[in-house]
Each structure stands twice: as C-alpha cells, then as structure tokens.
Amino acid sequence: MNAQMMIALITPYKEDMSIDEEALKTIIHHCQKQGSDGFVVCGTTGESCFLKDEEKLKILEIVLSCVKSEEVWMGIGTNCTESTLNFLDKIKDYPITGVMAVVPYYVKPSQMGLYEHFSKIAEATDKQVMIYNVPKRCSCALEAETLVKLANKYSNIQAYKHADNDLTHIADILASTDHLRIYSGEDEQLLEGLEVGMNGIISVIGHIYGDEISKLILESQCGIKNQNLINRIKHAANCIMNEGNPSGIKAACSMMGLCNNTLRLPLTCVSESAREQINICLKNDKKI
C-alpha cells in the first residue's frame, strides 16, 4: 500500500459560532484538488470536544456527501469509555472507513486501563479502529507493548496515529504486527516518519500544503530526498503550529479565503505577530 496523506479536518464556524457548512464543503474540495487520500473528521484539529453529538453527525454527513474515493475516519474518542461507546453506537450505520479513538486525556489511566478501553471499542464495532496516541495533549501515552498486544488480539484495530516526535519504537511495532498501518501526526516529522516505515501522515498543514506533502511522499518512496521541499514543509509547519492547533491552521485557511478565522472558547485566534509570520510564509510560498 502506498503511503497516504489524509487531512485532519478543521471545523469551520460562522460568526455566530454555528457550523459553516458551505465553508466545510469548500475546504474538502480544496483538499481533494491537492491529492488528499482521506479525511479524519472531528479529531483534535476539528475541535471535537466543543461539538455536540448532533453537530458531529451533521459534519460527518457533509463530508460523506463530498467524498469520492477518499477514506473517512470519524473521531469518537473521549476520556470516558461509556461516552465513547455511546457515540460509536450513533454512527454504526454510516458508511465510513473506520473510527479514530484518542488515548483518554486528563485522567491518566494505567496501561491496563488503556488496554481495557480500546478493547471495549474494538469489541463494540465491526468497523476499522484507529488508535490515536498524542502524549503532549493527553498527559498519558499508550506504550508500544500495549499497542502491539491490542493489535494482535483485535483484527479490526487496523491503524495507529502517532503524534509524537519519539519514533524509537515504530519499527518494532511494525515488525510485531502484520496488519497495522501507522500514520504520523506531526507535519514537521513527516520525512522522519516515512524513513522508519510509517504509512503516511494525518496532516494539519495539508489543508494548504497538500501538493507539497503529496510530492514529498512520492519522492521519498522513489528514494529522492528533496531538501528544499523538506525545508518548506518544516518551515510552514513551524509557522502555522507556533501558537497551537487548530488556531494556526484556521488563521492560514482564513487568509486563503477558505473559512472564517473563528474558534470556540477557550481557544482563541493566534496573536498578531503569529498571524504576520503565517502571512509571510504563505506569501513566500505563493499560497496567497
């Protein structure tokens, strides 16, 4: 399977903070033109913790109405197993590729607790499951041994999103499972992830830099190391993510006329200095 570029989709809002359905369609079509292989809906970048269940379902319906052959993964994760399973039941009849469940945040469960949490999810669905490990946001990490144990017991645990700069155990995980696909969740570490065997990326800056990311993936598979392209992507990721996600990518998308620069509290827009740096980056890369 060729490495993929999937988009961690933002949730655009109108000025009154309702879902901007037309902007969402515009963003999806823009990403499709840049070669996206799929969308991860209502994840961290999509501000999932601020969305009501009915809003999540509406967003999912819009995405499904727009996709062609792309994969669609729906974020279901919360820090409560029961709540996660309840929402999983609500989307059981939607024609999605699979579901993405984040490591439960804030409560800091043990590895046994994480194993039981993801086991319950895998047992409750016949859809593919993607486990999302993002220690810097959750203050808790799924250890490689626990992931391997889960993947080898449950055949529908098919994917793993690794949003961490520590790539030490990626090769070992791949060698210890026969079906698990691993995706980077760090745009700055895309090349490094590919070099240790990852299957692609779930990208934030791919909303805008999808062409460049697709090209980097293709060239990497051909053994080409395009340092200029690598530097462009790293610089763009650094500028856009400097004051957090999704604040930075929403600022960038608004500069391109894709959506309003609106977020739900407690998230706020990036500072004027960060906005200026993003603006300069986009201008230099001829994005605006």
**Which residue, 93, 110, 91, is CA-closest to 101?**
91
Distance CA 263, CA 170 (A): 34
Task: Please report, to the nearest 10 degrees, the dihedral formed by the alpha carbons of residues 109, 136, 37, 288 taken in order.
Answer: 150
DSSP state of 169: T
What is the pTM for the complete model shown? 0.96
Distance CA 258, CA 26 (A): 7
Distance CA 12, CA 30 (A): 14
pLDDT of residue 1: 67
At residue 208, what is the residue type? I
Q: Determine contact, residues 156/118, Cβ cutoff 8 Å.
A: no
Q: Determine contact, residues 225/252, Cβ cutoff 8 Å.
A: no
| Mean pLDDT of all residues belonging to the chain | 96
Q: What is the pLDDT of residues 259-285, one digit of tens each?
A: 999 999 999 999 999 999 999 999 999
Token code pair at residue 40: 């991860």
Give me the residue spans of the domains in the chain.
4-220
Report the CATH architecture of 4-220. Alpha-Beta Barrel (3.20)
Q: What is the pLDDT of residues 208-220, one digit of tens each?
A: 999 999 999 999 9
Distance CA 97, CA 248 (A): 28
132 is catalytic: yes
What Rg, from alpha-carbon coordinates, does the chain have?
A: 18
Side-chain-side CA neighbours of 225 within 13 Å: the count stands at 5
Task: State percent of the chain over pLDDT 90.
Answer: 96
Task: State percent of the chain over pLDDT 70.
Answer: 100
**Which residue, 241, 252, 254, is CA-closest to 280?**
252
Spot the catalytic one: 56, 127, 161, 250. Answer: 161
pLDDT of residue 137: 87
Answer yes or no: is pLDDT of 136 > 90. Answer: no
56 is catalytic: no
Banded pLDDT at 83 (limits 50, 70, 90): very high
Spot the catalytic one: 132, 160, 183, 209. Answer: 132
**Which residue, 144, 243, 136, 259, is CA-closest to 208?**
259
Side-chain-side CA neighbours of 207 within 13 Å: the count stands at 34
pLDDT of residue 139: 85
